[in-house]
Amino acid sequence: MSLRTIDSLGDLSGKNVLVRCDLNVPLKDGQITDDGRIRASLPTLNALINSGARVVVVSHLGRPDGAPEAKYSLAPVAQRLSELLGKGVVFASDTVGSAAEEAVAGLADGDIVLLENLRFNPGETSKVDTEREEFAGKLAAFADAYVSDGFGVVHRKQASVFEIAALLPSAAGLLIQAELEVLERLTRTPEAPYTVVLGGSKVSDKLAVIGALLPKVNTLLIGGGMLFTFLAALGYKVGSSLLETDQIESVKGYLAEAEKLGVEIVVPTDIVVASKFGADAEFVTTPASGIEDTPFGSSGLGLDIGPDTAARFAEVIAASKTVFWNGPMGVFELAPFAAGTKAVAQALTQIDGLGVVGGGDSAAAVRALGFDDDQFGHISTGGGASLEFLEGKRLPGLEVLGWQ
């Protein structure tokens, strides 16, 4: 069975189409700091608008606890979406209440409305099937068809992702199609040499993807907070750096497995160690074997890969034909500890092949560090969803659209 696409829905002119986007963008003081996910939704929304559909957009933002919270309102998103589309976007101040009903009823062909944050309603993320089904039914009452285009949530069994697809003629949008095309290349037909770069804070979040990808890759580069569990597995002391002691044996197992498979796991040889967590911290660069030999002793914190490691990672990436990167190399939000992440991003822009930034913090990092989206082969909109796909997990939001 193959993925159902928008074409399968037929002529949508004059029909109400409910579109599940992932507009979960970062906000600071009510201002959007990264509109990448909004821009990623534009191809599908423009296609529907141009077909004469009456478009009802739904999304979540943040993690409100099933009730309205002003800081999680989608109102700033509606404004930005209007600017990017070049046309007015009506904003409804509730999800399935009177404001939403009135806004949807007022739509003309080619118009678009954005409903308030789905997670203001407890039915969206409820663990009780019937509660999700009830909320999905109320959303479905607004539409003649459903388009799923929020790739960042397809691994979630939620009302607007899963249950609603059974209530309306349903299909995947252009964003989901694009994401799947890239992920298929990474899992089924990667061109060698194939390098995976993993960072982020917790090794426990990445063990499953390491296990799934080891038989497929040539090189695995390890950075971020998770690197210290690898160093500990190699017998190094890591001071007060982030360490998951309960994962050391698992990491040793993967190191042994990689050796058997002929996969090179590159662990940092030098580390930027700081006196504390903060942009004003004192810091030094030290060999990975000497983290506790710095002036900060056992209280030193590793906050970035060192320059030698960054150069080595860039060299490996440059020699690769396929690269998947998920997770920053250090605390890129703090200027003294952003160099490792920037080096990886820079190298990824220069490869002769497919370079994929795996969503989440990696996508935020490349934009925060001044890179443009079009400098990369692909920037995913779904960090967790991308990882679960690469792990080989079943994703309910895709299966309900016919994917297998």
Annotated binding residue 155: no
Annotated binding residue 243: no
Active-site residue (options: 80, 138, 202, 216): 202
How far is it, in rounded angstroms, from Cα 157 to Cα 393?
A: 13
Judged on CB neighbours under 10 Å (0-12, 13-18, 19+), 176 is: buried
User: 176 with 314: CB under 8 angstroms?
Assistant: no
Annotated binding residue 63: yes
Nearest to 206 by CA among 393, 384, 364: 384
Q: Is 138 one of the annotated active-site residues of the chain?
A: no
How far is it, in rounded angstroms, from Cα 323 to Cα 380?
A: 13
Annotated binding residue 37: yes
Active-site residue (options: 20, 37, 132, 342): 37
Active-site residue (options: 360, 382, 383, 397): 360
Annotated binding residue 60: yes
Would the CA dihedral through 352, 260, 226, 379 be positive or negative?
positive
Q: Is 360 one of the annotated active-site residues of the chain?
A: yes
Annotated binding residue 109: no
Annotated binding residue 24: yes
Annotated binding residue 206: yes
How far is it, in rounded angstroms, from Cα 18 to Cα 247?
A: 43
User: 335 with 272: CB under 8 angstroms?
Assistant: no
Annotated binding residue 111: no
Annotated binding residue 61: yes
Phi and psi at residue 112, in whole multiples of 5°?
Answer: -140, 140
Q: Is 10 one of the annotated active-site residues of the chain?
A: no
How far is it, in rounded angstroms, from Cα 7 to Cα 2?
A: 13
Task: Pull the structure tokens for residue 214.
Answer: 């080891």
Annotated binding residue 220: no
What size, in residues, is the chain?
404
Residue ranges of the binding site for substrate: 22-24, 37, 60-63, 119, 156
Residue ranges of the binding site: 22-24, 37, 60-63, 119, 156, 206, 302, 333, 359-362
Residue ranges of the binding site for ATP: 206, 302, 333, 359-362
What residues are labeled active site?
37, 202, 360, 384
Residue ranges of the binding site for (2R)-3-phosphoglycerate: 37, 119, 156
